[in-house]
Amino acid sequence: MRALTKTLVSVTTAIGIATGGLATAGTAMAAPATTAQERVVTAEVGTLAVVNLGLSSAQAKDVQRWLKTYHGYTGAIDGALGTNSWKAFQRCLKQYWGYTGAIDGIVGGGTVSALQRLLRDTGHYSGAIDGIAGPGTKAGFKAWANQF
């Protein structure tokens, strides 16, 4: 009985592998559609990203109010620094602190470097302008946000 069971499992496995091999040949043509679909999902996730860089919700709301008053922020005052908040911040950073990147709301090295220049110039940061949002940058950002 065991020998029969082993044989059936082996044959079933071999058939499954063969079928899987044939099935994957057909899906190779569909791979570009999956890739395009993944790009859309990634883009949607990117627009939902919240990067408060250590700020509390209350501090982030204060920053959003400041952005609304001075830099064209039109989003909700919700305490979540998302894409629209960072686009407004990037406009500010471009105007005054040497940000040269796209106004895309993505908090990358260029955005962080310009933020570090703002923080240094306002006396809230003394570290390197390295584009890394480390503890010193986050502490400086919190101190800067507390002035509102």
| Tokens read off for 16 | 């499954």
Least confident of 18-27, 61-70, 89-98, 132-141: 18-27
Same structural domain for residues 73 and 138?
A: yes
Same structural domain for residues 9 and 42?
A: yes
Same structural domain for residues 66 and 39?
A: no
Compute the distance between CA of residue 105 and CA of residue 90 in angstroms, rounded to an integer.
Answer: 7
> Do 138 and 53 touch, CB atoms closer than 8 A?
yes
Max mean pLDDT range (13-17, 31-35, 54-58): 54-58
Structural domains counted in the chain: 2
> Do 144 and 123 touch, CB atoms closer than 8 A?
no
Average pLDDT score over the chain: 79
Q: Phi/psi zone of residue 125: left (φ > 0), alpha (ψ -120 to 50 degrees), beta? A: beta
Same structural domain for residues 141 and 121?
A: yes
Least confident of 15-29, 56-70, 74-88: 15-29
User: What is the predicted pLDDT for the residue at 80?
Assistant: 96
pTM, two decimals, is: 0.68
Same structural domain for residues 64 and 98?
A: yes
Structural domain that includes position 38: 2-48
Same structural domain for residues 131 and 108?
A: yes
Same structural domain for residues 102 and 141?
A: yes
Same structural domain for residues 62 and 129?
A: yes
DSSP class per residue in 79-134: S---HHHHHHHHHHHHHHS---S-SS----HHHHHHHHHHHHHTTS--S---S---
Same structural domain for residues 41 and 108?
A: no
| Tokens read off for 118 | 């703002």
Same structural domain for residues 65 and 22?
A: no
